[in-house]
Amino acid sequence: MLPVIALVGRPNVGKSTLFNRLTRTRDALVADFPGLTRDRKYGQADYDGYEFIVVDTGGIDGSEQGIETEMAEQSLLAIEEADIVLFLVDARAGMTAADQAIANHLRKQQKKCFVVANKVDGIDADSYCAEFYQLSLGDVHHIAAAHGRGITQLLETTLQPVIAELAGEAEELEESDDELVDLYSEDEEGEDNQQAFADKPVKLAIIGRPNVGKSTLTNRILGEERVIVYDMPGTTRDSIYIPMTRNDKEYILIDTAGVRKRKKVSDVVEKFSVIKTLKAIEDANVVLLVVDAREGISDQDLSLLGFALNAGRSLVVAVNKWDGLDDYVKERIKSELDRRLGFIDFARLHFISALHGTGVGHLFESVDEAYESATKRISTAMLRRIMDMAQADHQPPLVRGRRVKLKYAHAGGYNPPRIVIHGNQVHDLPDSYKRYLMNYYRKALGIMGTPIKIEFREGD
């Protein structure tokens, strides 16, 4: 499980600067639902080999309003959702009343929390930062986010032990069944492993923005099937895992909408949690993204899809509320979806009405297909033959007067399928040819619903 790190602090201390430095994606996910006065930004961090989710809380300005009201909105939620809080202060500006108010709040939380003094470039860090020890939150770590200074050290010496500890705890809780998956993906000859893998329930995460119809769909699916429901204990950031059987196959629905929650969730803030959704994606085998036909694809949907793609998850898209639309509107929506979802053209689109049940049954055909595609065992001989065919049909381009040559292909893993291709000058292959190869493999192998990753290696 990816740890979640929240950046908090008053405005202008450098949270966004640090956020941008930590996240590899420019397309951070912004949660700006009604009910939130300020945005929270979510990004995937991959800094110096460390991976985690980072949350930027915008700014907390505790000075004028009283900290509770100011923090109540997005920062409290971000802190609650986080495993680790980085409390940023400005070394140049010195300690302020707002810093102290934030510190008072953080001291009351049961959270791993670290004071990080930013902007130490060009000043004597030790003497400028000494006063922050008065915040009574332990050591003060020095960084210059704008220059990337001190960040690796912070991660290595301070955060890594905490992350490792959290990972250990998570593992104990989960009794990780993922070992099987690892075993299988590493072992080319592992027939037995494959069998065990295929027998495991498919974990299906139902995700999407508030009000698209996730709860309605989940209830519809559960209502039609024999289910044994048990509530897993958890916090607001945890999804509910619901085992179910359908046509003698076992699934586990990962319910991000919290259908089975006892207490009625009234506000949208509590109902939708980005972290909950990201964790569900991370834990799923197949992601079912639900969108509202009338609303179309939002930037948030695209960000969620980006996360799912990065995680290599199989994907099915349900366009919900397809009832009561006239043909003209339907056509318009379809072409708009085609345009915006071009980058996940491997995913099946279903037009459904969760309310009336139309099309819901067919979703599982695509879920099964996606999962089977993702875990399909493909022989080296087959991968090589397809590579040769692709090359014969359309040869790779010349680069600096020499033809790129693909020599050998083999499987690099499953879920999602990974193909390793060795050859000469392969790193110079243009993206268009890489896409061509991917589509060629996809067609030849009949793989749908899952991304295919091709890795190129120079030499034989």
Q: How far is CA 17 from CA 7, 9, 83, 143, 144, in A?
A: 11, 13, 21, 11, 10
353 binds ligand GDP, rule: CB under 6 A:
yes
25 is in an annotated binding site: no
- When binding is defined by CB under 6 A, the residue of 39, 61, 80, 121 that contacts ligand GDP is 121
* Least distance from ligand GDP to the Cβ atom of residue 174, Å: 26
300 binds ligand GDP, rule: CB under 6 A:
no
- When binding is defined by CB under 6 A, the residue of 57, 185, 194, 216 that contacts ligand GDP is 216
Task: Answer yes or no: are the C-beta atoms of 54 and 5 closer than 8 Å.
Answer: yes
359 binds ligand GDP, rule: CB under 6 A:
no
203 binds ligand GDP, rule: CB under 6 A:
no
Q: How far is CA 295 from CA 213, 220, 334, 361, in A?
A: 12, 21, 12, 23
- When binding is defined by CB under 6 A, the residue of 213, 396, 412, 413 that contacts ligand GDP is 213
285 is in an annotated binding site: no
359 is in an annotated binding site: no
The long-range contacts involving 401-404, CB below 8 angstroms and separated by at least 24 positions, are: 404/428, 404/429, 404/433
323 binds ligand GDP, rule: CB under 6 A:
yes
63 is in an annotated binding site: no
- How many whole angstroms separate alpha carbon 71 and alpha carbon 240? 28
β 50-56/40-47 pair status: antiparallel
- When binding is defined by CB under 6 A, the residue of 2, 15, 412, 450 that contacts ligand GDP is 15
In angstroms, the first-to-last Cα distance of the chain is 35
Task: Answer yes or no: are the C-beta atoms of 59 and 11 closer than 8 Å.
Answer: yes
- When binding is defined by CB under 6 A, the residue of 16, 298, 391, 424 that contacts ligand GDP is 16
Task: Answer yes or no: are the C-beta atoms of 450 and 440 closer than 8 Å.
Answer: no
58 is in an annotated binding site: yes
User: How many other CB atoms sit within 10 Å of the CB of residue 248?
Assistant: 5
14 binds ligand GDP, rule: CB under 6 A:
yes
119 binds ligand GDP, rule: CB under 6 A:
yes
- When binding is defined by CB under 6 A, the residue of 102, 103, 257, 316 that contacts ligand GDP is 257
Q: How far is CA 34 from CA 29, 267, 268, 294, in A?
A: 16, 9, 7, 18
- How many whole angstroms separate alpha carbon 151 and alpha carbon 143? 6
Contact range with ligand GDP by CB under 6 A, out of 133-141, 182-190, 317-325, 375-383: 317-325
236 closest CA partner among 274, 279, 273: 273
Residue ranges of the alpha helices (H) in 66-190? 67-72, 74-81, 97-108, 125-129, 151-153, 160-174, 178-186
86 binds ligand GDP, rule: CB under 6 A:
no
Q: How far is CA 405 from CA 279, 401, 412, 422, in A?
A: 40, 12, 20, 9
Phi, psi of 416 (to 5 degrees): -85, 165
Nearer to ligand GDP, 5 or 386 (CB): 5
Q: Enumerate residues 367-406 that contact ligand GDP by CB under 6 A.
A: none
Tokens of 419: 């193909």
At residue 41's C-alpha, the angle toward residues 284 and 169, to 5°, is 45
Sign of the CA dihedral with 322 first, then 324, 328, and 329 last: negative
Q: Binding pattern to ligand GDP, positions 32-71, x when CB under 6 A?
A: ---------------------------x------------
* Least distance from ligand GDP to the Cβ atom of residue 198, Å: 31
Q: Binding pattern to ligand GDP, positions 412-451, x when CB under 6 A?
A: ----------------------------------------
236 binds ligand GDP, rule: CB under 6 A:
no
- How many whole angstroms separate alpha carbon 29 and alpha carbon 309? 14
Task: Answer yes or no: are the C-beta atoms of 210 and 34 closer than 8 Å.
Answer: no
144 binds ligand GDP, rule: CB under 6 A:
yes
CA 384 to centroid of chain Cα atoms: 32
Contact range with ligand GDP by CB under 6 A, out of 12-20, 72-80, 184-192, 426-434: 12-20
Tokens of 42: 């979510």
Beta strands per DSSP E along 297-384: 314-320, 348-351
* Least distance from ligand GDP to the Cβ atom of residue 169, Å: 30
Nearer to ligand GDP, 30 or 355 (CB): 355
Nearer to ligand GDP, 12 or 63 (CB): 12
12 binds ligand GDP, rule: CB under 6 A:
yes
- When binding is defined by CB under 6 A, the residue of 118, 239, 285, 450 that contacts ligand GDP is 118
214 binds ligand GDP, rule: CB under 6 A:
yes
* Least distance from ligand GDP to the Cβ atom of residue 163, Å: 23
256 binds ligand GDP, rule: CB under 6 A:
no
Residues flagged as binding site? 9-16, 56-60, 118-121, 208-215, 255-259, 320-323
Binding residues vs ligand GDP (CB under 6 A): 9, 11-17, 59, 118-119, 121, 144-147, 208, 210-216, 257, 320-321, 323, 353-355
Annotated binding-site residue numbers for GTP: 9-16, 56-60, 118-121, 208-215, 255-259, 320-323
